[in-house]
Chains A and B, each alone.
Chain A
Amino acid sequence: MLSPHGLKLAAHIISTYFGDIVCKVCECLLRRGPLSQLEVTRFTELTKQKVTDALLVLIHHNCVQAFTIQQPGGFGEPPKIMTKYMALPDNIIHHMRFPKFLSIVSDEFGQDCAEIFEGLLQHGRLSLNQTMDRYKDKHKASGENSSATNVVHENFSKLAQARYIERCPAHEPFLEPLEEGAKKRAKSKIADATQTLEARALAAAAPMESQRFLVEADTLIGGVLDDEDSKKSSITDIVGEKRKLEAETESWETNERKEILWRVNFEEFIRRLRHKSCVSHVTERVDSVAGIVLSAIFEASRKDETRVKTEKTVPLLLETIYEEAMKTEEGRSLTLERVRAALVQLGCELPTIGIDETYSIDLKKIIYQAQAQEVESIVLKKYGREAYRIFRLLSERERRIETDKISSTTFVEKKDALKILFQLWKDDYLNLERVGNEAQKMEIMLWDLNKRSVWEQVLDDMYHAALNLKLRLVHELDHAQDLLRVLKGKSLKEGDEAAKMRKKVQDKWKVLEASFMILDDAIMLFHDF
């Protein structure tokens, strides 16, 4: 769930990409949660056709997921099967990161792959054949038609293998009502009961891991579906998985054996960016060797990572890490001993027995440190150095501390310390507890960091700031356009002025855009990592 300004930013992104009508539908879903088409029509007061079109656009661009659910009927009526639509706020926000994703692909696989990838970003969902057509269209002039199929197929496989693209989820998975279900599944049901409806729908829609990145099967459309055995063997414990498969089969059948659609796998990019952020934080905080070692660990455990928010890396042998580090140019000069020292600096304990020493890095801690650094810099700039010291003390100790102790540890006069503490408390950074002592007529004030609220507030402020940057950019461009229109067709001297102005607007645009990209990294740090 997004914070209030996160919702506003998401709505703004949709409105710039797809216009106001789509934005209205999307905002309605974002604010009210999963709704049926009828409900959307009622709430938005748009015509049915417009709502349908908007939902189709949103689904096609992976901003909305549909699912069917059985709802209890009225008195004496049988239960109804209903299709609901839910917005995917994270996927919407990812739209502003497309340039980042594209540059990762083009850096790793070059221009040809980037072109295919760009198509998927632009169109949301494409089949392999559509990608092929797109490629042929674009390169018709240069006459590369003959080998085009091979090139596209090869690049497409490359992208799928790197998990940058994936098969689209099922269109409308059916969610089994929670009350029913076999007794055997009781255990997993309890685990799933804590999941929200949205999470269940997403899990039910996701393609099976074994097929998710499978390109070859794309050409065999029908063949794979008949292969019941392979399906059964890979069934996981997700509730409704079996039903999901049936639904999937049905939908494919009713869709006249359509081609398999592909889309960008945002998860992999977020994982990549998370790794990059961890490495850069460690390089800055510890040293470059620690950075090299950490990125070697990420590289070596790439295939084993399944979730984005992995708390600890997979335990790896020291030799494996060393070998991986040796593959990079900077890591070639490292010794085994130096790698071990870097691992210890990264927070690993040295094993007592020297045989088969494995190491696992606590990523959660690294991410927390990076987040704390961001919050601290806000405190420093807003409240000054003494407040910064007090804030760091409270964030480090993670327990309640009394005023006198804070004042003496941070070398701030008690009166000033109290003033700062109250200011921070007023702005919701701290919790305050007063402990009275009747006998001595004294009152002790205990302070501690209100971490959850601070982190939420900072993230919301970031969304707000990002939205403001976007709005200001639009405003600057509009303003410049108006002025240029006035200057157009005037004398040469004024033409000079126009050029100057263009340059000025360009500079402003660069500053705003660069700030936005940096801010977006921070948003990901707090929300996605």
Chain B
Amino acid sequence: MSLLNKRKKPEPKQAGGLPELDSKVLEVIKSKKEMAIWTRDLKSETNLTDAVINKCIKNLLNSSHIKEVVHVQQKGRKHYIAAEFEPSKEITGGSWYVNGDLDTTFIDELKNLCLKIIRKLKVATADGVYDFFKANRLTNTECTSQQVSEILRSMVLDNMIIDVKSTGLGEYHSIPVGQVCYRSPPGDLNKGGPKTGALVSIPCGICPRIRECTPDGLISPTTCVYYTKWLDF
């Protein structure tokens, strides 16, 4: 190889001011729009070597043509997206995710607020709760009516509230008959969370060794340490 060839030729610049390879990479990334692309896929689509691709990406990042995004389901894989696009729901995991992590503080905050609203209103539909949010400007963070319904549904699963169908009578007079609405559970459930079952209130209910426990075995009710601890008063 001659000395002349060894020296790098300045890469031919395109009209946009980017070197040829950079723009080729950028084109591929742009073609994926809001879906973003994984570096390995980028490599196979452009037929360039790792080193070249890495350099291109570095250049493009520096010139703010592209940005890195975290894929919620493949956090270890680097994904890139063109600067003018916002990552899709599939990539971010939807409105509940921040940088690929579940935004638990926001969720908990929203849950608490919803619980307070439902306690105050006694009975409310998802829209009713959302309207209350908007009317009273309870939170600085933006939230949509879709988010509120999702939160309410998960709270039902948590047994913090229960879902009932409106009867149109009594407390439900303002809600059309048959519409799903939410209320706080009556009685004990309201205070202490879900009811403690009969089985879990004795040591055997949650015993990790219950399968090995026999009347005359090594683990038996007469020698059980959990029992001894339970009956120690």
Contact = CB atoms under 8 A, between A and B. Distances in A.
B158 interface: yes
B185 A285 contact: yes
Contacts, number: 135
Interface stretch (A231-239, A267-275, A381-389): A381-389
Contacts of B224: 468, 472
Contacts of B143: none
Nearest to B193: A380
A389 B158 contact: yes
Interface of B (DSSP majority class): loop
B12 interface: no
B198 interface: yes
Given A377-B197, A471-B215, A408 B186 contact: no
Interface in B205-226: 205-206, 210, 213, 215, 220-222, 224
A511 interface: yes
A411 B198 contact: no
A411 B153 CA distance: 10
Interface stretch (A121-129, A305-313, A518-526): A518-526
A214 interface: no
Contacts of A104: none
Interface stretch (A163-171, A336-344, A487-495): A336-344
A377 B196 contact: yes
Interface string B83-103: 000000000011010000110
Contact of B187 (A284, A345, A467, A512): A284
B137 interface: no
Contacts of B201: 515, 518
Given A409-B153, A461-B204, A471-B222, A284 B188 contact: yes
Nearest to A472: B221
A472 B205 contact: no
A519 B202 contact: yes
A507 B233 CA distance: 9
A374 B199 CA distance: 8
B206 A381 contact: yes
B187 A382 contact: no
B204 A468 contact: yes
- Could you say which of B72, B185, B197 has the most chain A C-beta atoms within 10 Å of its C-beta? B197
B198 A519 contact: yes
Contacts of A475: 221-222
Interface stretch (B15-23, B34-42, B53-61, B164-172): B164-172
A464 B204 CA distance: 8
B200 interface: yes
B148 to A, nearest CB: 14
A508 interface: yes
A378 B200 contact: yes
A385 B158 contact: yes
Contact of A377 (B72, B107, B200, B213): B200
B194 interface: yes
B52 interface: no
A286 B186 contact: yes
B189 interface: yes
Contacts of A500: none
A479 to B, nearest CB: 9
B154 interface: yes
Given A378-B206, A411-B102, A461-B210, A344 B169 contact: yes
Contacts of A464: 204, 210, 213
A79 to B, nearest CB: 44
Contacts of A250: none
B202 A469 contact: yes
Contact of B198 (A283, A507, A508, A521): A521
Contacts of B159: 392
A301 to B, nearest CB: 23
A284 B3 CA distance: 90
B218 to A, nearest CB: 15
Please give me the 10 A-B residue pairs with the lowest Cβ-Cβ distance, nearest first: A377-B197, A465-B204, A522-B198, A468-B221, A475-B222, A374-B197, A381-B200, A341-B169, A389-B157, A471-B221
14 contacts: A337-B169, A338-B170, A389-B158, A409-B153, A411-B102, A458-B199, A461-B204, A465-B202, A467-B215, A468-B224, A472-B227, A518-B198, A519-B198, A519-B202
Given A285-B186, A350-B167, A389-B157, 15 more contacts: A284-B195, A375-B197, A377-B199, A378-B197, A408-B96, A409-B157, A461-B210, A462-B198, A464-B204, A465-B202, A468-B204, A469-B202, A471-B215, A519-B202, A521-B198
